[in-house]
Amino acid sequence: MAGPSRIEWTEATWNPVTGCTKVSPGCKHCYAEQLALRLQAMGKWSYRNGFEVTLQPQVLETPLQWRKPRTIFVNSMSDLFHEQVPIEYLLRVFEVMRRAHWHRFQVLTKRSERLVELNPVLPWESNIWMGVSVESARYTFRIDHLRQTRAAVKFLSLEPLLEPLPDLNLSGIDWVIVGGESGPGARPMDASWVLDIRDQCERAGVPFFFKQWGGRNKKQTGRLLEGRTWDGMPAAPNGRRWKPDTRVSPPGQARPGASQPAPEVLPLLEFSPG
């Protein structure tokens, strides 16, 4: 449900919602669905409903208990903006992210229409990164929707990349991740598609992260592109590379040399869904 992650571009995952439904071709071989069904077969209570959309309120406050600042991928096993997630619950998730100000949260969705719809009522703090998944040119409208949000950091996950994307509009985008599909039945990704996106990012000054080639054996195919890894990350507000914020400490953890008590968890606010 929550803990360290092997996903290359994050440090931990947190799943206040599990389960999803397919919304576009990129969902065809969903890793989360396969994993959820396996965990259900193992008798894991949190996955008692398999891959049906299920709220997991018992883990809502988990990030508040993690004292060490970390980068957290929200809902690696679902889509936070799924239509079956009540707005009241979604606001509770955002409120936890706001209160846990010493972490960085990465939220990723394919349901950009609902993202835009709810954007005005969401508490967009600077530690909340918002991204959209785009697998083909047909779904680049999600990027336009992302641009309309008030998220401080906006990013793209072009995974699984299913076709070339030669004309990406990267205006207002802070980070691009590219990856091929992995696992049984993985659809191939051409190197020319990846190189073209990398070049577009370089021209636009957008950090580029190459996650994987994918295929049936992800470890075997690796993540080298032209003989090296590409681990670009978005710039912090001060222009430096993102790293744990040593200026703000989580509850009970004092800053080195600080004479004042460490900041506590921010107080709970009430939000109206409007």
Q: Does a cis peptide bond (omega within 30 degrees of 0) precede residue 164?
A: no
Asked if residue 228 is part of any domain, the answer here is no
**Number of domains composing the chain:** 1
Give the whole-angstrom CA distance, residue 59 versus residue 35: 19
Asked if residue 143 is part of any domain, the answer here is yes
* Residue with more model confidence, 107 or 215: 107
Q: What is the pLDDT of residues 51-73, one digit of tens each?
A: 999 999 999 999 999 999 999 99
Give the whole-angstrom CA distance, residue 52 versus residue 63: 24
Confidence of residue 220 (pLDDT cuts 50, 70, 90): confident
* Residue with more model confidence, 269 or 18: 18
* Cα distances (angstroms) measured from residue 82 to each of 12, 17, 19, 76, 169: 21, 10, 9, 13, 25
Q: Residue 51 CA to chain centroid, in angstroms? A: 19
Look at residue 141 and tell me whether its pLDDT is greater than 50.
yes
Look at residue 225 and tell me whether its pLDDT is greater than 60.
yes
Give the whole-angstrom CA distance, residue 54 versus residue 158: 26
pLDDT of residue 90: 98
Q: Which domain holds residue 215?
A: 58-221
Asked if residue 145 is part of any domain, the answer here is yes
Asked if residue 248 is part of any domain, the answer here is no
Asked if residue 14 is part of any domain, the answer here is no
Asked if residue 258 is part of any domain, the answer here is no
pTM of the model: 0.86
pLDDT of residue 242: 54
pLDDT of residue 78: 98
Asked if residue 21 is part of any domain, the answer here is no
Asked if residue 242 is part of any domain, the answer here is no
